Amino acid sequence: MDPMIITARLLPKVVAPLVRKLLVRPGPGAFLVDRPLRISGLVSFRGEQRTLGERDVRRIAAKLVDRAVTPLPGATGAARERPVAPDEDRAVADALARSLCALGDLDLEIVQDARLEAAALTRQLRRAAPDATHGLTGDGAELHGILLHTAALHVLEFFTRLSGFGARTLVENRRALGRLDDAVGALAARLPSRSAEDAGFETRYAHDTAVLHNHLTIFGIDLAHSPDSWPLDAAYLGLRCETEPPAVDSGGPPEPAVPAEHALSGRCRILVRGVAGSGKTTLLQWLAVATARGELPAPLHRALYGRVPFLLPVRRFARHGLPSPGDFLAAVGYPGAEAQPPGWADRVLRAGRGLLLIDGVDEAPEDGRERLRRKLRDWTALYPGNIWIVTSRPSAVRADWLTADGFAELSLAPMSREDIAAFIQRWHRAAAQQEPDDLDRLGHYERTLLNAVRITRDLGRLATNPLMCGMLCALHRDRRGYLPDGRKELYEAALSMLLERRDRERAMGTTDGIDLPRQPKIQLLQKIAHWMLVNGRSEMDREIAVDTLAQHLPAIPDAARQGGPEEIYRHLLNRTGLLREPAPNTVDFVHRTFQDFLAARATVQRHDFGLLLNHAHLSEWEDVIRMAVALARPDECAALLNGLLAPLPGIRAAEARHRKLLAAACVEHAAELDPEVRHRVRRFTRDMVRPSTVAGARALGWIGPIVLEMLPEPAEVSDGEAYLLAVTATSIADDMAIDYLTGLRKRAYHPVRAQLAGAWRRYDTARYAREIIAHLDPDQLFFPAADVAELSALRDLGGRPYLQVAGEFTVAELIDGIVPADGLRRLWLAYGLGASMEWLAAFPRLEELRISRRLPRVTGVPDAIRVVEL
């Protein structure tokens, strides 16, 4: 049973008149007399004002049940299912009638009881008629509960409309009912507008979307029938998003990163930024599949249920821009595109029923991004009511790129320590399900890798996103517990695993008659990657790929003697694990990171450093240049860095600054570098790493730990500058940052202390607690706790009077972990607990409860505690 589907059938315009029949209006002046006005005195089936009998109450209950079990017009799939068997309808109606009759037994004052809410009224009715649901099945009891709560909302809404009614918190029930009315009304209004032809196609499209996108690439795990992929619902690791901090200091640490479904909830236009490998495409896949199936998490259920997802990778439209709605399906290669009814996509969007998932703005050429922005502006105006989620690499578009068009901005957060551990454990469980030859060693590999990423600095820096974590797991297993050092070595080892050892270890023969060594494969793949780089593409036509191979095959005899360009292309596609055909006659790399690495190798081998320098101001070339520095010889590396520092005619001042900062970011990738060049890079960029805005301070984090050596001495700056330096340093998820932050920990300026407190989760818990948290002045400062270990660390420090719940806890964990109990004065919930707040009575001196703006309203807060909604 889906409660949201049942609720959608209970249209307020139908339910409200039925419930109002159960009640009567009080006489004139009823609110002006001293005696209390009670609910039991206003029912229409008891007392002096009786107009209904109990038989009438049963008829009203039966009509409510009938509404709940009858599908809305045009509903399909799960939306047509009955919540209970037909022979239980009458039993549920009888139970509901007994519960509604209990309204006449309630001794509740509707004016003076200011804490009365729909949930509380529902509980009172259950207690007044405890045997009402006796004999019902589990589904029947659940349906009864949904109907009773809906009736309670309308009962209280009736009271709020009475002249003179003054209860404060009942207003919230009107708001809740209004939100429900809006959501249900919007869903109900959309469904009847579909023709039978549209509805039939949507059912097929939803099924196909779930099938086509329900897989992930997980490096190193080979399934018998689907190499290197894993079902999305089994492999998806919940991603977390960070929101932009408020412009005004909120009195505490920044809002913590929250699960993506919570961050996306309540927003209809969102730009999601994320670095390569952070999971942008995976997030949109997950949203498309969950929406198509109707299996959405609670925070997104109301907004996305019944919508039609369109997953639109920008790379498919890089040359010609986004297609018109009628061409959406054909452009992305959907096999059933020709079967869509004429004008169907346009009707979906005009009805406000679409979920537009536009992936990879950075995949469009820089001069095409402005056209894309204008198209988004036109579409959001032309098609109101739809939900738009756009993704991009952080540096591809400016911070406010879509703000004027009503888009909120979120960033995919780096994986936390807990996320990394969960990924490693899930990866090894997935590998074990394949019953491999090394099954007896997988447990050892898992334990040693978990330990390695915790204590080895370089590995911890690499394991910050799902792509890199998957590569680390695969290589650790492939090399029997040994891992290479550094990003370049990691990619080299990954290529070796995928191109040389993969088929051999899977005991696969040469099914296509071609047996290429590793090096010729790399050379050929580099040619394809280099073509994409030069032409500003993330994918290419199959015909162009074959022609590119034909041009270079004569120079690679190991490949030329084993087949023509068509045969070699098929071999690379089927046997390397690096190429794929996302649509008919189109080829791309399984991940952009591999394309960039191979393009960098090709450019370095061709000594084409001028090509890199001429494009270094473009964001899509950043990773290629950083990898080229890692691959280049010392003299080439020095020339490349000096070239980044040199002026380039025709570029803007901001682009010149970007090139110099890119030089600083590249230094850490150089295996060998002339000290004079290193010194020159620092001299040119030292003054550029004094940020003047919060956005600029955060953006410096992409340079990496080397920026810590270039930041000014903390003791020598003003409080305002110190805050910006704290933002920069805490954006670098490397324990080296702790050494710099120690210079800021004694600052009394509240924003500095709040920034340092809010960064705790990025670093080693014990060390950060010892070197930073313990030294922060606790005056008016909220200290975040994201897990039991952090609560324990705060307890060891004697507790703190202001605490922010910044992770998922049970009530028992909080009661046990917040010590001393009488020391807590203010509590800030940044994560929902899914429980009533009566447990707060365990903290006798608690004065204030803050609720983050994205959480639902809480209930059960003890009277002495003030509630503040942020």
Cβ count near 544 (within 10 Å): 16
Residue 432's pLDDT band, with cuts at 50, 70 and 90, is confident
Residue 3's closest CA among 206, 139, 129, 131? 139
Lowest mean pLDDT among 61-70, 241-250, 688-697, 814-823: 241-250
pLDDT in the model for residue 542: 93
What is the pTM for the complete model shown?
0.63
More confidently predicted of 552 and 703: 552
Residue 416's closest CA among 719, 97, 765, 693? 765
Handedness of CA 638, 642, 645, 648 (dihedral sign): negative
**What tokens does 566 get?**
């068509």
pLDDT in the model for residue 164: 47
pLDDT in the model for residue 854: 76
pLDDT in the model for residue 218: 52
End-to-end Cα spacing for the chain: 34
The per-residue DSSP string of 715-782 comes to GGS-HHHHHHHHHHHHTS-STHHHHHHTTTTT---HHHHHHHHHTGGGS-HHHHHHHTGGGS--TT-P
pLDDT in the model for residue 468: 76
How far apart CA 89 and CA 854 sit, in angstroms, is: 37
Pairing outcome for strands 354-359 and 308-313: parallel
Residue 344's pLDDT band, with cuts at 50, 70 and 90, is very high
Residues 623-644: what's their mean pLDDT?
94
Handedness of CA 9, 14, 17, 21 (dihedral sign): negative
At 387-404, the pLDDT tens digits run 999 999 887 788 788 988
Residues 79-86: what's their mean pLDDT?
81
Check if CATH label 3.40.50.300 holds for domain 200-245+255-412: yes
**Which residue has tokens 């207003």?**
171
Residues 293-302: what's their mean pLDDT?
82
Cα-based distances in Å from 275 to 278, 598, 662, 669: 5, 18, 15, 18
More confidently predicted of 29 and 460: 460
Residue 175's pLDDT band, with cuts at 50, 70 and 90, is very low
Residues 530-553: what's their mean pLDDT?
93
pLDDT in the model for residue 802: 97
Residues 412-421: what's their mean pLDDT?
82
Mean pLDDT for the chain overall: 83
Residue 554's pLDDT band, with cuts at 50, 70 and 90, is very high
pLDDT in the model for residue 62: 93
How far apart CA 605 and CA 186 sit, in angstroms, is: 59
At 93-141, the pLDDT tens digits run 999 999 999 888 776 655 433 345 666 788 788 878 888 888 888 788 8
Q: For the chain, which residues make up each domain, given as ranges?
A: 3-192, 200-245+255-412, 417-483, 778-870
pLDDT in the model for residue 357: 96
How far apart CA 68 and CA 95 sit, in angstroms, is: 15
The per-residue DSSP string of 271-318 comes to EEE--TTSSHHHHHHHHHHHHHHT---HHHHHHHTT-EEEEEEGGGGT
Residues 585-589: what's their mean pLDDT?
88
pLDDT in the model for residue 222: 42
pLDDT in the model for residue 37: 59
**Which residue has tokens 């932050």?**
741
Asked if pLDDT for residue 247 goes beyond 50, the answer is no
Residue 569's pLDDT band, with cuts at 50, 70 and 90, is very high
pLDDT in the model for residue 646: 94
How far apart CA 774 and CA 745 sit, in angstroms, is: 9
Amino acid at site 615 = H
Length of the chain: 870
Lowest mean pLDDT among 601-605, 683-687, 839-843: 683-687
How far apart CA 270 and CA 262 sit, in angstroms, is: 13
pLDDT in the model for residue 589: 87
pLDDT in the model for residue 167: 40
Residue 378's closest CA among 353, 348, 349? 349
Q: Which residues pair with 408 in a beta bridge?
A: 270
Residue 558's closest CA among 614, 501, 516, 588? 516
How far apart CA 714 and CA 337 sit, in angstroms, is: 60
Residues 624-638: what's their mean pLDDT?
94
At 191-245, the pLDDT tens digits run 545 678 888 899 899 989 988 887 665 544 443 333 345 555 545 667 888 876 5
Residues 182-195: what's their mean pLDDT?
52
How far apart CA 369 and CA 618 sit, in angstroms, is: 12
Handedness of CA 176, 178, 179, 185 (dihedral sign): positive
Cα-based distances in Å from 11 to 4, 67, 100, 856: 12, 9, 19, 22
Asked if pLDDT for residue 187 goes beyond 90, the answer is no
Kindly report whether the peptide bond that precedes residue 712 is cis, defined as omega within 30 degrees of 0.
Answer: no
How far apart CA 759 and CA 61 sit, in angstroms, is: 54
Angle between the 622-631 and 634-645 helix axes, to the nearest 10 degrees? 150
pLDDT in the model for residue 348: 95
More confidently predicted of 460 and 209: 209
At 604-624, the pLDDT tens digits run 999 999 999 999 998 889 889
At 729-752, the pLDDT tens digits run 998 888 889 999 999 999 999 999
Residue 659's closest CA among 691, 627, 685? 685
Cα-based distances in Å from 461 to 327, 492, 622: 42, 18, 19
Q: How far is CA 845 from the centre of its chain?
A: 36
**What tokens does 403 get?**
């703000």
If you ran DSSP here, which 8-state letter would residue 42 be given?
Answer: G
**What tokens does 614 get?**
């001429």
pLDDT in the model for residue 780: 94
Cα-based distances in Å from 438 to 394, 479, 482, 551: 40, 12, 15, 42
Residue 775's pLDDT band, with cuts at 50, 70 and 90, is very high
pLDDT in the model for residue 581: 84
Residues 499-522: what's their mean pLDDT?
66
Handedness of CA 277, 283, 285, 289 (dihedral sign): positive
How far apart CA 112 and CA 134 sit, in angstroms, is: 33
If you ran DSSP here, which 8-state letter would residue 244 be given?
Answer: P
Q: Is 319 helix (H, G, I), strand (E, B) or coil?
A: coil
Asked if pLDDT for residue 74 goes beyond 70, the answer is no
Residue 600's pLDDT band, with cuts at 50, 70 and 90, is very high
Asked whether the beta carbons of 393 and 273 are under 8 A apart, the reply is: yes
Residue 275's pLDDT band, with cuts at 50, 70 and 90, is confident
Residues 523-534: what's their mean pLDDT?
95
Q: Is 408 helix (H, G, I), strand (E, B) or coil?
A: strand
Asked if pLDDT for residue 700 goes beyond 70, the answer is yes
pLDDT in the model for residue 78: 61
**What tokens does 342 get?**
């004429």
More confidently predicted of 159 and 793: 793
Residues 442-455: what's their mean pLDDT?
87
Amino acid at site 477 = R
pLDDT in the model for residue 177: 47
Burial class (CB in 10 A: 0-12, 13-18, 19+), 821: middle
Backbone torsions φ then ψ of 210, nearest 5 degrees = -65, -35
Using a pLDDT cut of 90, give the percent of the chain over it.
39
Residue 568's pLDDT band, with cuts at 50, 70 and 90, is very high
Backbone torsions φ then ψ of 292, nearest 5 degrees = -60, -40
Residues 491-516: what's their mean pLDDT?
64
